[in-house]
């Protein structure tokens, strides 16, 4: 028998996955292919919960002072745009360059 703590953890994980699926649907248009499943009514209800929580999370973020809207020109998406503080492209604003190192497993 799972404890209350485990049930809360599993419930939180299920909500998190449904919110991620809602975000994927809204940003890419890809949806879970569940029409051929016998559980389609339950899956639809589960995905609707994700949409509900995604909407409320989005509203919370919009009203919060801890978040601001960032555009591509602000350096979002891996350095596209300019680093406004230095006047250089975002990739060149770093003092050091990242060089990957191979791991040696002995």
**What pLDDT digit, counting tens, does each position of 30-64 carry?**
998 888 888 999 999 999 999 999 999 999 999 99
Any domain includes 81: no
Question: CA 27 to CA 21: how far, in whole Å?
Answer: 10
The tally of domains found in the chain comes to 1
Q: Does the residue 86 lie in any domain?
A: no
Query: Quick check: is 49 in a domain?
Result: yes
Residue at 29 is within a domain? yes
Mean pLDDT within 84-89: 53
Q: Is residue 105 part of a domain?
A: no
> What pLDDT does 99 receive?
56
What does the alpha-carbon distance between residue 49 and residue 19 come to, in Å, rounded to a whole number? 8
Query: Would you say residue 20 lies in a domain?
Result: yes
Whether the full predicted model's pTM is greater than 0.85, yes or no, is no
The answer to whether residue 75 sits within a structural domain is no
Structure tokens of 66?
Answer: 């801890």
In a domain, 22, yes or no: yes
73 close to 64: Cβ distance less than 8 angstroms: no
Question: 40 is in which domain, residue-wise?
Answer: 4-63
Three-state secondary structure call for residue 89: strand
């Amino acid at each position: 028998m799972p404890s209350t703590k485990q049930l809360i953890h599993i419930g939180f994980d299920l909500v998190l996955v449904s919110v991620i699926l809602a975000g994927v649907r809204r940003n890419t248009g890809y949806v879970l292919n569940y029409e051929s499943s016998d559980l389609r009514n339950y899956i639809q209800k589960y995905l609707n919960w994700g949409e509900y929580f995604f909407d409320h999370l989005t509203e919370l973020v919009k009203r919060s002072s801890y978040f601001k809207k960032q555009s591509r020109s602000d350096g979002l998406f891996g350095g596209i745009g300019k680093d406004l503080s230095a006047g250089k492209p975002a990739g060149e604003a770093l003092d050091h360059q990242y060089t990957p190192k191979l791991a040696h497993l002995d």
